[in-house]
Chains A and B, each alone.
Chain A
Amino acid sequence: MIFYPVVFALLVTMALAIVRAVKGPSLYDRVLAVNMFGTKTVLFLAVASYLMGRPDFLDLALAYALINSIGVMAVLQFFQSREFRRRYEHRHEAE
Chain B
Amino acid sequence: MSPETTIVAALVTPLIGAVGIALTGRLPNLRESVTLVTAGVLAVLVWSLVPQVMAGARPELLVTTMLGGLSIAFEIEPLGMLFGALAASLWIVNSIYSIGYMRGNDEKHQTRFYVCFAIAIFAALGVAFAGNLLTLFVFYEVLTISTYPLVSHKGDPATVRSARVYLGILLSTSIGLLLPAMIWTYAEAGTLDFTAGGILGDVAGPALGVLLGLYAFGIGKAALMPVHRWLPSAMVAPTPVSALLHAVAVVKAGVFTVLKVVVYVFGLDTLTEAGAQQWLVWVSGGTVVLASLIAMTKDNLKARLAYSTVSQLSYIVLGAALATASGVIGAAMHIATHAAGKITLFFCAGAIYTALHRTEVSELRGLGRTMPFTFAAFTVGAISIIGLPPFGGAWSKWFLTLGALEAGELFAVAVLMVSSLLNIVYLLQIPLLAFFRAPASGSVPEGVQEAPLPCLIAIGITSLLCVVLFFGADPLYELTRLLPSS
A touches B in complex, CB < 8 A: no
